[in-house]
Amino acid sequence: MRGYDAVDRSLLTALAADPRATVVALADRLELSRNTVQARMSRLEASGAFLSFERSIDPVPLGFPLEAFISVHVQQKRLADVVDEIAEIPEVIQAHGLSGSVDLLVRVVCRDAHDLFRIDRDILAIDGVERTETSLAMGELIPFRLRPLLDRRG
Amino acid sequence: MRGYDAVDRSLLTALAADPRATVVALADRLELSRNTVQARMSRLEASGAFLSFERSIDPVPLGFPLEAFISVHVQQKRLADVVDEIAEIPEVIQAHGLSGSVDLLVRVVCRDAHDLFRIDRDILAIDGVERTETSLAMGELIPFRLRPLLDRRG
DNA sequence: ACGAGGACTGGGCAACATGCTCAATCGTCC
DNA sequence: GGACGATTGAGCATGTTGCCCAGTCCTCGT
């Protein structure tokens, strides 16, 4: 299933406003019948509209107040191995392969600056890694959001 | 409330495995009483452990298969204004302020390359923006995860 | 204009979940 | 020992879920 209609989008929006809303509550708010909401929800679920719930957990109260992005330059041929090794570091919470001069954008959280230093060192020590550049995230200036996208006509 | 104990972490882990699990189901799985789970959940909720549900929605089925990171160099003094203007672009789903040579790391999704080109142009046109560098995300090589962190001793 | 297919609706029903309260138990800390 | 907080099991009224059904409404293609 690709592309959602207005009903799907408003369902997602309503869910964003209240993630644990019941089907009945959603039906009420959207002025749809309970059956419709139930059917839509199963379809959304089945179509893979939802990512892991882990994305909705805040690392800060877990004790990781610092976030950083580490740009990694890699010997291309060893990219897969490098990724495997980076994945072993628990503080790495995400990594994207990029086009362009930087090969890998690694997102990490840590307890303090010392922690970050260590993680960077660990990545540099990996065979195939040529260079890294660490940027401390000073804040999420635009917090993750999909609403503007959801609110537009599809 | 800062810092969760083992019970909190296993609750979060269990929730990650099944985001819409009922309190009863969680109690079962963790071999806790229903009351305990209910109490913990309210505390987690109240302590701000959960981020917006939007983070758990996949932009791809919404019709945005392409993701990119745009590094933005800004005249420092105008940073706030630049962020405000960037926030007007719906395809911008997140932005971090960074330490280092890049001031702003903007995460965007788009329908196609043409779309991306337009967004980059829009950002460049903003007063106070000096330079941008666009990197297309070739894939989420390490999908967002907190489990390794959750699984460790707190 | 007709019928078919799909989505939506309202009704009903049994099984289950929730939110709440209570009394009892268990550790830990002073 | 005594006090405190966390946990437990029980109970209860109310709300929710998952399911099924029949009826309606739209949109298609013919």
A10-57 per-position pLDDT tens digit: 999 999 999 999 999 999 999 999 999 999 999 999 999 999 999 999
Q: From the list B12, B100, B105, which residue is nearest A57 (CB)?
A: B12
Q: Which pLDDT score is estimated for A92?
A: 98
pTM (two decimals): 0.92
Q: Tell me whether A67 touches chain B (CB under 8 Å).
A: yes
CA R_g for chain A: 20
In whole angstroms, what is the distance from residue B25 CA to residue B14 CA?
A: 10
Please, which positions of strand D sit below 7 A from a protein CB? 6-10, 15-21
Backbone angles phi, psi at A49, to 5 degrees: -75, -20
Q: Is it the case that residue B4 has pLDDT exceeding 90? A: no
- Cβ contacts, strand D, under 7 angstroms: A 22-25, 34-35, 38; B 7, 32-36, 39-40
SS3 A30: helix
Q: Do A49 and B64 touch (CB under 8 A)?
A: no
The runs of H, that is alpha helices, within chain B are 6-17, 23-30, 34-46, 79-86, 113-124, 147-151
The pLDDT, as a whole number, for residue A101 is: 85
Q: Does A35 touch chain B (CB under 8 A)?
A: no
